[in-house]
């Protein structure tokens, strides 16, 4: 019951064809349809020159020939939401149609392309990690309609020249999974097999100018907490990180227990032992349960029914602690409580 609660995030709303949705409460907004949010971007070629891309009808539109744009903000591991729309007037074919791209940390491209009924090479289609991995599905809507990317990005982690985590992309295109924890394999790129390589911790998010007036809207991200491999406590846990996290939770619950009295204190102490052993807490729990048993034994027979709920609850807790060996085998509380339960005929 008392392990740390997750932070509260008020969810946003979904987009409709006519209107972009609202981001969740803790999102960092990169473009919300207003000219003011264009200030969060700059030209990639000669920063800090302002971008020549334009805000039109609440959308951010690529001006062909003006070059990539990038955020002024540097972004690392994140959940990224991007909506884009290829021109409704279909022009060009293969890679020449509605081509743009989302570059996390400016390094690796999640392809933006209008390959709706427009065949091209698989690892260059929308939702591909460009040049590395084709999407698992072509879930595109027609050109001119809004396409939605939800991307979970984990950068590669190198330490002392050794790769600890290759980094990963998980991508949903219009709510369809198109990348599922795809390893990064370095930067990717055109006609070049890529390989793992160190990358910075953060970098600007870039959008590609590939000569097509692709539009964007509703761009936001949420930074993700560090992975265990990077000193945090998310993702795959090393045994050391798992132990450290359990010890931290146990400590927090013990600090709470210290502020309580009687049964609530005892229950909290027992709970803390499920996360990490502690000699003093175990001794306290043992003494607390024995004192409780002594008190229960002094309750007159006529008062036992009123105590039933408390006793059955304690039996359940002690059974649990004994079964999973948080209490030592020689600890007799379980047998004593069982005897009280049987003596009152509550076992039937």
Pairing of strands 28-31, 69-75: unpaired
Give the residue with the Cβ less far from Mg ion, 210 or 217: 210
Crossing angle of helices 239-258 and 262-273, in 10° steps, is 170
Task: Tell me the closest approach of the beta carbon of residue 210 to Mg ion, in angstroms.
Answer: 5
Give the residue with the Cβ less far from Mg ion, 94 or 238: 94
Give the residue with the Cβ less far from Mg ion, 120 or 272: 120
In whole angstroms, what is the distance from residue 293 CA to residue 340 CA?
Answer: 9
Task: Tell me the closest approach of the beta carbon of residue 113 to Mg ion, in angstroms.
Answer: 6
101, 131, 156, 288: which one contacts Mg ion (CB under 5 A)?
101
Give the residue with the Cβ less far from Mg ion, 76 or 101: 101
| DSSP conformation class of 7 | P
Binding mask 326-345 for Mg ion (x = CB under 5 A): --------------------
Task: Tell me the closest approach of the beta carbon of residue 66 to Mg ion, in angstroms.
Answer: 15
Look at the block and give the residue holding tokens 């070059």: 67
Q: Kindly identify the residues of this chain, within the stretch 197-216, that bind Mg ion according to CB under 5 A.
A: 208, 210
Report the Cα–Cα distance between both ends of the chain, in Å, rounded.
Answer: 29
Give the residue with the Cβ less far from Mg ion, 211 or 235: 211
Mind giving me the DSSP string for 50-100? PP--EEETTEEE--TTS--EEEEEEE-SEEEEEEEE--SS----GGGSS-E
Q: Identify which range of 5-13, 79-87, 99-107, 132-140 contacts Mg ion by CB under 5 A.
A: 99-107
Q: For residues 186-200, b (16+ Cβ closer than 10 Å) or e, as one string?
A: bbbeeeeebeeeebe
Kindly state whether residue 99 participates in binding Mg ion, applying the rule CB under 5 A: yes
Binding site for Mg ion (CB under 5 A): 99, 101, 208, 210
């Amino acid at each position: 019951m008392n392990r740390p609660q997750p932070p509260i995030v008020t969810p946003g709303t979904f987009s409709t064809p006519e209107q972009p949705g609202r981001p969740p409460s803790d999102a960092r907004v990169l473009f919300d349809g207003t000219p003011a949010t264009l200030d969060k971007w700059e030209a990639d070629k000669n920063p800090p020159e302002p971008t020549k891309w334009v805000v039109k009808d609440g959308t951010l539109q690529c001006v062909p020939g003006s070059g990539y744009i990038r955020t002024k903000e540097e972004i690392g591991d994140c959940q990224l939401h991007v909506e884009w729309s290829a021109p409704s007037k279909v022009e060009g074919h293969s890679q020449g149609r509605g081509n743009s791209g989302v570059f996390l940390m400016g390094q690796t491209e999640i392809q933006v392309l209008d390959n709706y009924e427009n065949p091209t090479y698989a690892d260059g289609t929308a939702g591909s990690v460009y040049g590395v991995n084709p999407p698992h599905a072509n879930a595109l809507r027609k050109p001119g309609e809004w396409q939605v990317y939800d991307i979970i990005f984990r950068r590669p982690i190198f330490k002392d020249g050794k790769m600890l985590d290759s980094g990963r992309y998980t991508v949903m295109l219009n709510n369809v999974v198109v990348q599922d924890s795809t390893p990064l394999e370095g930067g990717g790129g055109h006609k070049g097999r890529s390989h793992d390589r160190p990358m910075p911790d953060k970098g600007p998010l870039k959008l590609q100018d590939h000569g097509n007036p692709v539009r964007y809207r509703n761009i936001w991200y949420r930074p993700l907490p560090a992975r265990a491999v990077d000193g945090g406590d998310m993702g795959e846990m090393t045994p050391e990180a798992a132990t450290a996290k359990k010890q931290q939770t146990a400590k927090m619950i013990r600090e709470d227990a210290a502020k309580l009295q009687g049964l609530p204190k005892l229950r909290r102490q027992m709970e803390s032992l499920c996360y990490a052993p502690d000699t003093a807490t175990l001794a306290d729990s043992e003494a607390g349960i024995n004192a409780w048993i002594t008190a229960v034994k002094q309750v007159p027979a006529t008062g036992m029914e009123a105590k039933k709920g408390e006793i059955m609850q304690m039996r359940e807790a002690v059974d649990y602690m004994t079964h999973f060996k948080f209490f030592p085998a020689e600890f007799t509380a379980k047998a004593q409580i069982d005897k009280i339960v049987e003596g009152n005929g509550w076992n039937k």
